[in-house]
Amino acid sequence: MNEFSVSGIGKRIFQLFVSLFVLLVVTFVIGRVLPNDPVGAVVGELADPAAHAAMRARLGLDLPLYQQFWIYVSGLVRGDLGNAILTGNPVVEDLESAFPATLELATFAVILSTVVGVPLGMAAAMFRDTWLDRFARVISLVGHSIPVFWFGIVGLVIFYAGLDWVGGPGRVDVYMEGLVEPKTGLLLVDSLLAGDHEVFWNALSHIILPACILGYSAMAYITRMTRSFTLEQLNQDYVTAARAKGASPMGIVTGHILPNIAVQLLTILAISYGGLLEGAVVTEIVFSWPGIGQYMTNALLTGDMNAVLASTLIIGLIFMVLNFLTDLAYIILDPRTREVTA
């Protein structure tokens, strides 16, 4: 890797830290100025003023805002995100147990959306203005238009309560909770590592519906963008030359178009993955999925700003890291980007 590309990577790392710091400042300030009462959530609404004031001082909420921010940042550097009001546990421990569930759900969803969205988008472009193209466009429009929570409720009513094709809310049935030792936190992986196929299939039946619901909007976006990228390439001279040489449509797609749109696809997949991690909140509430989205929602309802701030930082950090890795892939895979970076 040459000098200018290393300089570009260094610049992006600096931008990553600056963005994370800005996110930290904005989220912290908003969390402190919101009209919530975390002290009341601890001591109760009927506590006397003296107990309320003592707990406020214990939590450091009586200090000036800049001092509160400095204390929080100092703890953050040490890996201390404070204690959660709702559970009484360190926020770090709560996130360690909640985040793998969200990661597993979002990863499953992005795999499904990619496997369906990329081929559907390319096929729609190759057969433009046919029934397949119109079908793909309708699917994309519906995916962008209908709220996730409505899809989730309807899916539960039809496929769980009505047809009994999938598992219900939660990651597994209640009687199977705790049967597999959590090594990675990903229940599908842990059940396979433990050799417990009954738990694996039960967990798979529970994740299918929320992953499909969550991944549908991402699939709609991936399909639309893949179709756009492919249409742009179909107008290029190299595709015309390949057709003149007798290349088959499948050969043109796999051997010519797909390599040329790979970097663009990588970008939209990274954006979709970050969006799924961020947008899992509503899906987790509908399906009682014990992930970071449900954890953050419960924290908001109780005014637990330590938990809310930590959850926001984790999601923001993941989104920024995905963007950074995408930029890095651009520099490595596309020489034209290196010239701009220089």
Residue 2 has pLDDT above 90, yes or no: no
Strand partners of residue 83:
90
Higher-pLDDT residue of 183 and 32 is 183
Assess contact for 210 and 104: CB atoms under 8 A: no
With beta carbons less than 8 A apart as the criterion, state whether 223 and 147 touch. no
Comparing 340 with 70, the larger pLDDT belongs to 70
CB 83 within 8 A of CB 91: yes
- Rounded CA-CA distance 292/300 in Å is 12
Question: Would you state the pLDDT for residue 112?
Answer: 92
Contact 324, 254 (CB under 8 A): no
Q: Are 204 and 171 in contact (CB under 8 A)?
A: no
Per-residue confidence (pLDDT) for residue 150, from 0 to 100: 86
> What letter represents residue 143's amino acid?
G
Q: Write the DSSP symbol of residue 185.
A: S
How far apart CA 102 and CA 157 sit, in angstroms, is: 23
Apex 325 CA angle, 31 and 186, nearest 5 = 70
Give me the percent of the chain exceeding a pLDDT of 70: 87
pLDDT band with cut points at 50, 70 and 90 for residue 42: low
At residue 109 the predicted structure's pLDDT band, cuts being 50, 70 and 90, is very high
pLDDT tens string 278-328: 767 788 888 988 888 888 888 877 777 788 888 888 888 887 888 777 777
pLDDT at 143 > cutoff 80? yes
Say what percent of the chain tops pLDDT 90.
13
pLDDT of residue 1: 44
- Ordered by start, the domain boundaries in the chain are 102-148+211-341
User: Which pLDDT score is estimated for 35?
Assistant: 60
Nearest of 122, 332, 144 to residue 229 by alpha carbon:
122
pLDDT of 3 reads 44
Tell me the residue ranges of DSSP E strands in the chain: none
pLDDT for 251 beyond 60: yes
In DSSP terms, which residues pair with 90 in a beta bridge? 83
Bigger pLDDT: 173 vs 13: 173
Which residue in the block uniquely carries the two structure tokens 């996110």?
23
Does the domain made of 102-148+211-341 have the CATH classification 1.10.3720.10? yes
Measured distance between the N- and C-terminal CA atoms of the chain, rounded to whole angstroms: 12
Closest by CA to 94, choosing from 302, 322, 276, is: 302
252 contact partners, CB below 8 Å, separation of at least 6: 239, 242, 243
Mean pLDDT of the chain: 81
